[in-house]
C-alpha cells in the first residue's frame, strides 16, 4: 500500500456514507463514550474517508459519525484520501493494527478483500503485511461461522471471542450452542468448556444432552477431577501425543463424513489449510520415526 494524497474538509453528515461499517462492530458502550466526548469536547480528530462514485465513504470514524447523528450535529471534519475501496479496506485494518480490532473484524476485512474485491490471498498478505497463513486462518474463521452467529455478534448478544470458539463446531450445531451461551450469559471460559464438550460428544443425542444440561444451568460433570499439569519433558510429550491423537481422530472422522467438494466457497481455503497440515504431519512423522529408532535399546 502506497501513501495517498489527502485533504481535510467539512462534510455534511447526510453526505457521509458508511457502506464499510459492516466490517466493524458497533459497541454500545464505546458509542456512548464517544457521544459524551463529542458533546463535551467537540470533534477532536477528523474521520477518514474516500470518494467513490461521487459519494464520500467513511473507512475510519464510524462511532464519531453515529454519535454526531445522535447529538443532531450537521457536519464533521473529514480527511479525504485519494484511495480506492480496496486500499480503504486495507487501511481499516492498518489503522488499528495490533489494537482495537477483534479477530472477527479482521476476518470480515479479509473476506471482503478476497470475496468482494477478488484480491488473492498472497496479495492480501502483502498489503496487510502479514503471513499468508494468517490470511488463511482468518478466512477459515469467518467462512466456517454461521451467519446467524455473526448476526448475534453484531447485535451485541454474543462476545466476539465466544463466537470464535463456537465457530469450532460444525455449522449445524453453532446456532444452538450460541443460543445457550446468550441465554445463560456464559463467560468466554465457560463457552470454551461447552464447545469442548460438544466437540467430544459422540453423536447427536450426546450433543443434545450437553446443550440441555448447559441450558438448564447445570455445570458439566467432572470426570476424574482436574488433569494435573505436566512437570517434566516426558509428561509434556505424552500429553501432546494424546491431544494430537484426539484431534487427529476428530479431523479424520469429519473429512470422511464431509467431502471438501461439498463445503462450498470455503473449499479452497480448507484445501490450503489441509495442505499446510499435511506438510507439518509429514515432517512430524519423520521426526517420530527417528525418535523411535533412537529409543531402541541394542
Look up cell 464510524; give the residue.
62
Residue 22, Cβ neighbours under 10 Å: how many? 9
Which residues are CB-contacts of 128 (< 8 A; sequence separation ≥ 6)?
90, 93, 94, 110, 134, 135
For residue 51, give the 3-state DSSP assignment: strand
Burial of 212 (0-12, 13-18, 19+ CB in 10 A): exposed
In this predicted structure, what is the pLDDT of residue 27? Answer: 84
In this predicted structure, what is the pLDDT of residue 1? Answer: 47
In this predicted model, which residue has the larger pLDDT, 153 or 247? 153
- Indicate the pLDDT class of residue 227, thresholds 50, 70 and 90: very low
Lowest mean pLDDT among 171-175, 226-230, 242-246: 226-230
pLDDT, mean of residues 221-243: 62
Does the pLDDT value for residue 74 go beyond 90?
yes
Burial of 268 (0-12, 13-18, 19+ CB in 10 A): middle
> What ranges do the domains of the chain cover?
1-84, 147-215
Report yes or no: 138 and 103 within 8 Å, Cβ to Cβ. Answer: yes
**Could you give the residue ranges of the DSSP H alpha helices within the chain?**
28-41, 62-71, 85-94, 103-111, 121-128, 132-143, 147-154, 160-166, 171-184, 188-200, 204-215, 233-257, 267-295
Does the pLDDT value for residue 5 go beyond 90?
no
Backbone phi and psi for residue 55, each to the nearest 5 degrees, phi listed first = -110, 155
What topology is assigned to 1-84 in CATH?
3.90.1530
pLDDT, mean of residues 159-171: 93
Tens of pLDDT, residues 180-212: 999 999 999 999 999 999 999 888 999 999 999
The 8-class DSSP code of residue 114 comes to I
Instruction: State how far the Cα of 121 lies from the Cα of 113, in Å rounded to an integer.
Output: 9
Does the pLDDT value for residue 279 go beyond 70?
yes
Lowest mean pLDDT among 73-82, 252-261, 281-290: 252-261
Which residues are CB-contacts of 43 (< 8 A; sequence separation ≥ 6)?
64, 68, 76, 77
Amino acid at each position: 500500500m502506497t501513501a495517498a494524497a489527502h485533504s481535510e474538509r467539512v462534510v455534511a453528515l447526510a453526505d457521509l456514507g458508511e457502506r464499510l461499517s459492516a466490517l466493524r462492530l458497533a459497541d454500545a458502550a464505546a458509542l456512548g463514550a464517544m457521544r459524551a466526548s463529542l458533546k463535551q469536547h467537540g470533534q477532536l480528530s477528523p474521520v477518514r474517508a474516500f470518494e467513490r462514485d461521487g459519494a464520500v465513504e467513511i473507512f475510519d470514524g464510524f462511532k464519531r459519525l453515529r454519535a454526531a447523528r445522535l447529538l443532531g450535529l450537521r457536519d464533521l471534519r473529514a480527511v479525504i484520501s485519494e484511495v480506492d475501496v480496496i486500499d480503504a479496506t486495507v487501511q481499516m485494518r492498518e489503522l488499528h493494527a495490533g489494537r482495537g480490532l477483534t479477530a472477527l473484524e479482521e476476518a470480515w476485512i479479509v473476506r471482503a478483500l478476497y470475496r468482494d474485491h477478488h484480491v488473492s490471498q498472497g496479495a492480501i498478505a502483502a498489503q496487510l503485511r502479514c503471513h499468508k497463513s494468517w490470511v488463511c486462518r482468518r478466512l477459515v474463521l469467518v467462512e466456517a461461522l454461521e451467519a446467524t452467529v455473526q448476526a448475534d455478534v453484531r447485535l451485541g448478544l454474543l462476545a466476539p471471542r465466544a463466537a470464535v470458539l463456537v465457530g469450532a463446531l460444525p455449522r449445524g450445531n453453532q446456532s444452538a450452542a450460541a443460543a445457550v451461551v446468550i441465554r445463560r450469559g456464559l463467560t468466554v471460559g465457560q463457552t470454551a468448556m461447552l464447545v469442548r464438550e460438544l466437540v467430544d460428544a459422540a453423536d447427536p443425542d450426546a450433543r443434545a444432552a450437553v446443550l440441555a444440561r448447559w441450558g438448564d444451568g447445570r455445570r458439566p460433570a467432572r470426570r476424574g477431577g482436574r488433569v494435573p499439569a505436566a512437570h517434566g519433558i516426558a509428561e509434556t510429550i505424552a500429553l501432546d501425543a494424546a491431544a494430537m491423537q484426539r484431534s487427529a481422530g476428530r479431523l479424520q472422522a469429519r473429512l470422511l463424513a464431509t467431502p471438501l467438494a461439498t463445503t462450498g466457497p470455503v473449499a479452497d481455503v480448507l484445501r490450503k489449510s489441509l495442505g499446510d497440515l499435511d506438510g507439518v504431519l509429514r515432517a512430524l512423522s519423520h521426526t517420530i520415526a527417528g525418535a523411535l529408532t533412537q529409543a531402541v535399546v541394542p
